[in-house]
Amino acid sequence: MTAPLRIGIAGSGFAGKFHHKNLRGLAAVTAGVTSVRPESRAAFGAEFGVPVFDSVEAMLPHVDVLDICTPPSSHAAYIRAAARAGKHVIVEKPFHGFFGSPESHSKEEMLAAVTGELRDIRDTVGSSGVLLGYAENYIYAPSVQRERQILEATKAQILRMTAEESHSGSHSPFYGIWSEQGGGSLIGKGCHPLGGVLYLKRKEGLARRGSPIRPAAVSCRTHAITKLPAFEDRGYLRTTYKDTEDYAFLHVIFDDGTVADITTSELVLGGVYDFIEVFANNHRTRCRIQPVGVVDLYSPDKREFAGMDLMEKISSNEGWIPAYPEFGWSNGQFAEMRDFVDSMLAGRQPECDLALAIDITLAIYAGYASADRKGQEVEVPLL
Bridge partner list, 321: 297
Q: Per-residue x/- mask for ligand NAD, residues 150 to 179, rule CB under 6 A? A: ----------------------x-------
If one asks whether residue 36 binds ligand NAD (CB under 6 A), the answer comes out as: yes
Alpha helices in the chain (DSSP H): 14-21, 38-48, 56-59, 75-84, 107-128, 142-154, 178-181, 185-188, 191-208, 333-346, 354-372
Nearer to ligand NAD by Cβ, of 70 and 258: the residue is 70
Nearer to ligand NAD by Cβ, of 97 and 205: the residue is 97
Nearer to ligand NAD by Cβ, of 71 and 183: the residue is 71
User: What region, left, alpha or beta, does residue 147 occupy, with left being phi > 0 and alpha being psi -120 to 50 degrees?
Assistant: alpha
The least distance separating ligand NAD from the CB of residue 219, rounded to whole angstroms, comes to: 25
Within 8 A by CB and 6+ apart from 381, the residues are 111, 115, 362, 366
- Tally of CA atoms within 13 A in the half-sphere of 65 that contains its CB: 33
If one asks whether residue 10 binds ligand NAD (CB under 6 A), the answer comes out as: yes
Q: Kindly tell me which residue out of 8, 45, 71, 381 binds ligand NAD, with binding defined by CB under 6 A.
A: 71
* Host H or E run for residue 89: strand 88-92
Distance CA 95, CA 306 (A): 35
Q: Kindly tell me which residue out of 6, 21, 40, 318 binds ligand NAD, with binding defined by CB under 6 A.
A: 40
Q: Do residues 378 and 115 lie in contact, with contact meaning Cβ atoms separated by under 8 Å?
A: no
CB atoms within 10 A of CB 331: 26
If one asks whether residue 196 binds ligand NAD (CB under 6 A), the answer comes out as: no
Q: Do residues 271 and 297 lie in contact, with contact meaning Cβ atoms separated by under 8 Å?
A: no
If one asks whether residue 271 binds ligand NAD (CB under 6 A), the answer comes out as: no
Q: Kindly tell me which residue out of 92, 204, 351, 359 binds ligand NAD, with binding defined by CB under 6 A.
A: 92
The least distance separating ligand NAD from the CB of residue 288, rounded to whole angstroms, comes to: 16
Nearer to ligand NAD by Cβ, of 16 and 350: the residue is 16
Q: Pick the stretch among 8-16, 24-32, 116-124, 303-311 that binds ligand NAD (CB under 6 A).
A: 8-16
The least distance separating ligand NAD from the CB of residue 171, rounded to whole angstroms, comes to: 9
245-265 burial code (b ≥16 CB/10 A, e <16): bbbbbbbbbbbbebbbbbbbb
The least distance separating ligand NAD from the CB of residue 368, rounded to whole angstroms, comes to: 17
The least distance separating ligand NAD from the CB of residue 283, rounded to whole angstroms, comes to: 28
The least distance separating ligand NAD from the CB of residue 304, rounded to whole angstroms, comes to: 27
Strand pairing report for 297-299 and 319-321: antiparallel
The least distance separating ligand NAD from the CB of residue 260, rounded to whole angstroms, comes to: 20
Give me the residues that bind ligand NAD (CB under 6 A), please. Answer: 10-16, 35-37, 40, 69-72, 74, 92-93, 135, 137, 172
